Amino acid sequence: MINRFLFYLQLGWLDLVRLWPATRQHILIVTGICLPILLLLGLKRGHVAELQKELVKSPTGRQIIFWSAQRGELLSPKSLKQLANELPKIDLAIPDTQRVCNLKGNSKEPAEGITLYSTLPGDPLLKQLGAGLEGNFEEGIILGHALGKSLGVTLGETVRVILIRERNGVKETAETTLKVQGLVNTGGDDSRMGFVHASALDRFEKYIRGFRVPEYQWAAIKASARDGYAGYLLCCENNSNLTVSDKKQLEERGFLLTEATREYLELFGPWLKPEAFEKLRFYTLTGATGWKKGRDRFHFSPSEISVNTEADDVCIPWNPPKDNGSGIQLIGMTLPKRTWLRSYFQNPALAFHYETPCFSYRSPIFAGETQKINLTPEKRIEVSWLNPDTDDFPAFKSFTHQLELFQFPTNPIKSLFSGILLPWAKPKKIVVPADLLAYLHGYEEKWVDYDPEINLFVAISEDPVYDKVRIYSETIDDVPQTVEALKTKGFAVQSESARISEIHEQDSNLKLLVLITAMGVFLFGIITVVSVLQDSTDRKRGTIGILRVMGVSPFGVFLIVFFRATAIGFLATLLGVTIGLGMQWFLGWKPPVTWEWIQWKPIMRVEIHWIDMILVAGGTMLCCLGGSIAPAWKASRLDPFDAIVEGRFR
Amino acid sequence: MISTLIEEPVLEIEGLEQRLTDPERGEEFLVRVPQKLVVPRRGVIALLGPSGCGKTTLLTVLGLLRAPSHPNSLKSFCIWTRNSEGKMEKHDLKKLWIDRNHSQIEHLRRKYIGFALQSGELLPSLTVSENIRAPMHLNGFSKKLCNSRVQELIYSFGLSTNGEIKSGKFTRLENSRINKLSGGEYQRVVLARAIAHKPTLVFVDEPTSALNRDLAWEALNQLRNLQSSHESHGATIMITHDEQLADAFATTIVRMAPVKGMAAGEVVEITQTHQPLKTIDFELPS
């Protein structure tokens, strides 16, 4: 069976090569179908490429600049990365930021007021100028030729970047060294600009805004971070409790007011005088969903809250007590210097006041012990527990006394032994200023950092925010799509999309034209192939007849005709593509001016792509295969003897 | 009857009524074989008769090229072949046609029947040896067997001479393309191809029409020597108008004649000539 199949193919092949004049004629006919389509596609591409020429050469062709404007979001590096992933076919996204600084090179004098712009490796703008950052090296700088000359530096040498910041009349400077990775022509001798990696520029910006830059060991500006609070405690005496209007007013301000007298009498119990348990009331003032967390904490001044209430209350900025893992609970408590609340404490000085230095602590109990508490990896407080018998910290002489006063609904002994009041019970408590506890919470939540250089808790800068970004799409054809996507997201956009869209429109019109022409040509191509092959098989009726007489099956006859048509299609494609590529060269070739005899030749841009060749090859094969089915079928159905008899007379 | 004299038949047909319709003219023609026609082993059957009496039509039916128009009315239609173990095998062609078992019919035609038709119809894209080789390829002969058989036939039919001149040199005739052959060479190649795969039956349609008598007789002699030799199981059925040729070669002469008053032709006489098989010293008739 396989032998027969191979023999049929061999017969088809020999028919093709040995009866060459007929084959040649068929190949030329089919080539005449596919070649014009190939050239038409090439001319269309050439025309569009001619229109796009300038845009393709210039980086601005595929550049899109967009601003947050009124509706677009401000972009952090993370959200910019996410946006670039969401947008279709983005090659590069560079935040459009700049920073003025001074540069010092090999020359004696530094260059002042130099504007550094952000760039990234592969920046097409710099590529066009023949430069760019190497790899993802963040410590590089690209300078204008004139600036490089004035700094006395050449490629590969280093320059020092000097940044100056000023706060409250105090000037601070910071320096870092960058390697010159490119010298570009930035237009004119007075051009005072350079390009640095976007990440480096973000760090410069961070420094200028007063933040610490650990990458360059630059300290923060000498100012503490803002202390933030999870909520507030309001303390009133029974006879001057919060009124209904106070509660309403606080709720209107978005606070959630909850009475928590018992909880806080328990917490402060060891340090309170007995009468406090009868006369004091505590309320927690939180956000609508409870204690605030992270950067979202409250920053109101306590007086700002209590001044608006009718009750004579004391507002305590409050963060939940914190155990730093050393078994000691830190309670942040700061009160006004003079307040009636202090009189309820056995030691009125226990709570700190607002001028107290941050790193302070007090403990009324655990006399004689010394313990180290790690506040942060860099900051450690050594606590010497004071003698409770001294005047400063009178110890609680009798806990039974408090027990009498403390009214628990159920077994009071059990509650007390649960570790709140007894000095040997865990956790041990110390009092620290409210702002220290706020910072410790902030440190844990990573919005406050401890700067050992200045011994302060300083704010951690949030991610830089960009309001303007320049992005590059992969090709200019992708620009309109990206622009539309950005506009949908509310950004203001500047690009060449209008021009590109116009070219696209022309391109699609031409595509339609080529498509219609190709469909017509291929349709008539199929008809031509049917006709030609029909004639060819009619001429070979005698041969087909004898094949059938010898025992070649109808399928064998079909296969021989079909195989021959396939081979003709293949050879016609090869010939068509070869001639097409030859014409592409010839039409684009500009003869030397001295060859006057051929100056009449028009110069046309023809661009034949692989995809065009594949399309035309597909169309040609479709013509040959589609056009061969009917003749091959007809040939395979011939009556063997009739075929021989009829074949004699052809 | 002849059938009683023959011990080993290779083909038998009886009661054929083949109707042919010409759709263009709207005419019908009938070919009849009312009596039993048996083709014996090593027999040479000459079909004689005037033009238009249905000789070729009968040949197409016997050669399995056309289906009998009324297979049910056939009394018998069988072919005997030897299987690979050398044993005789009977194939009931009547049943195969009734069952429309075309693939089996095609298989039988390919394997057991050879044709040398009037105009030959060699394959123009093949050389002489490739043409002779074609039926063997179709029947799955090994390359070695093909080569030896081709050489045997080329030698037997006198085709081992020089052929066309190419680049100043003679090429072997066996390697020549068909369009370079003379009429005699062409006809000999046709005959060689017809028996290349050692068929049981060979049908030869007017072998002398394109040749002069000497060449025709010589070629037919070779065909008979190879196809109807003592070792052969085959038989030959030949259409001819040449009475002398029939007398000289046929062991059986089947005469056909038109039926008076009808558009029909039928077998009217089957004569056994008892012509001995001559393999050497063939004498041309005067």
Tell me what pLDDT residue A392 has.
40
Tell me what pLDDT residue A420 has.
33
Say which residue, A496 or B37, is predicted with more confidence: B37
What does pTM read for this prediction? Answer: 0.56
Q: Is the confidence at residue A573, as pLDDT, over 50?
A: yes
Question: Could you state, in order of their start, the residue ranges of all structural domains in chain A?
Answer: 2-56+500-648, 77-222+464-494, 231-459
Say whether residue B180 is in contact with chain A using an 8 A CB cutoff. Answer: no
Tell me what pLDDT residue A409 has.
30
Say which residue, A71 or A633, is predicted with more confidence: A633
Question: CA of A645: which chain B residue's CA is closest?
Answer: B119
The Cα–Cα gap between A253 and A184 comes to 58
Give per-residue pLDDT as tens, A383-414.
443 333 443 433 322 222 222 222 223 333 33
Residues A85-99 have a mean pLDDT of 86
Tell me what pLDDT residue A235 has.
94
Tell me what pLDDT residue A318 has.
94
Percentage above 90 pLDDT, chain B = 20
End-to-end CA distance of chain B: 32
Tell me what pLDDT residue A363 has.
59
Tell me what pLDDT residue B136 has.
92
Give per-residue pLDDT as tens, A289-345.
899 998 889 988 898 888 888 888 999 999 999 875 556 677 888 998 889 998 998
Residues A533-546 have a mean pLDDT of 86
Lowest mean pLDDT among A183-197, A203-217, B130-144: A183-197
Using the beta-carbon criterion (under 8 Å), do B106 and A18 form an inter-chain contact? no
Using the beta-carbon criterion (under 8 Å), do A647 and B111 form an inter-chain contact? no
**Minimum-distance CB partner of B106 among A14, A15, A551:** A551
* A-to-B residue pairs, Cβ atoms closer than 8 angstroms: 66
Name the minimum distance, in Å, from the CA of A517 to any CA of chain B. Answer: 38
What are the strands, taking DSSP E only, across A27-151?
A: 63-67, 90-95, 98-104, 111-119, 140-144
Tell me what pLDDT residue B95 has.
92
Lowest mean pLDDT among A144-153, B151-160, B276-285: B276-285
Tell me what pLDDT residue A423 has.
40
Tell me what pLDDT residue A27 has.
93
* Distant-in-sequence, close-in-space partners of A482: CB < 8 Å, separation ≥ 6: A64, A87, A88, A89, A90, A471, A473
Whether residue A122 contacts residue A90, with contact meaning beta carbons closer than 8 Å, is answered with no
Give which of B203, B233, B57, B236 is closest to B118, Cα–Cα: B203
Give per-residue pLDDT as tens, A9-68.
989 999 888 888 889 999 999 999 889 999 999 988 888 888 777 666 677 788 888 887
The residues on A that touch B, with CB distances below 8 Å, are 3-4, 7, 11, 14-15, 18-19, 542-543, 545-547, 549-553, 639-641, 644, 647-648
- Position B11, amino acid: L
For chain B, the 3-state helix, strand and coil shares in percent, each to the nearest 5, are 35, 30, 35
Whether residue B198 contacts residue B111, with contact meaning beta carbons closer than 8 Å, is answered with no
Task: Give one DSSP letter per residue of A576-605, joined into a string.
Answer: HHHHHHHHHHHHH----TT-GGGTT-----
Q: Is the confidence at residue A141, as pLDDT, over 50?
A: yes
Tell me what pLDDT residue B218 has.
80
Three-state secondary structure call for residue A75: strand
Lowest mean pLDDT among A26-30, A58-62, A473-477, A617-621: A58-62
Lowest mean pLDDT among A364-368, A590-594, A635-639: A364-368
Chain A CB contacts of B109 below 8 Å: 549, 551
Residues B10-23 have a mean pLDDT of 86
Say whether residue B177 is in contact with chain A using an 8 A CB cutoff. Answer: yes
Q: Is the confidence at residue B177, as pLDDT, over 70?
A: yes
Using the beta-carbon criterion (under 8 Å), do B117 and A14 form an inter-chain contact? no
Residues B248-262 have a mean pLDDT of 86
Q: Does domain B2-53+63-271 have CATH number 3.10.105.10?
A: no
Residues A441-461 have a mean pLDDT of 82
DSSP code at position A553 = -
Tell me what pLDDT residue A410 has.
34
DSSP code at position B133 = H
Q: Is the confidence at residue A370, as pLDDT, over 60?
A: no
Tell me what pLDDT residue A314 has.
93
Tell me what pLDDT residue A283 has.
94
Say which residue, A308 or A496, is predicted with more confidence: A308
Using the beta-carbon criterion (under 8 Å), do B121 and A543 form an inter-chain contact? yes
CA torsion, points A488, A489, A494, A496, in degrees to nearest 10?
-40
Question: Could you state, in order of their start, the residue ranges of all structural domains in chain B?
Answer: 2-53+63-271
Using the beta-carbon criterion (under 8 Å), do B134 and A639 form an inter-chain contact? no
Give which of B102, B78, B99, B98 is closest to B90, Cα–Cα: B78
Give per-residue pLDDT as tens, B47-85.
998 888 888 889 889 999 888 988 888 899 999 988 777
Tell me what pLDDT residue B178 has.
84
Tell me what pLDDT residue B89 has.
87
Q: Is the confidence at residue A365, as pLDDT, over 80?
A: no
Using the beta-carbon criterion (under 8 Å), do A546 and B117 form an inter-chain contact? yes
The pLDDT confidence band at residue A163, using thresholds 50, 70 and 90, is very high
Say which residue, B165 or A381, is predicted with more confidence: B165
Say whether residue B66 is in contact with chain A using an 8 A CB cutoff. Answer: yes
Tell me what pLDDT residue A375 has.
57
- In this structure, how many other beta carbons lie within 10 angstroms of the beta carbon of residue A637? 11
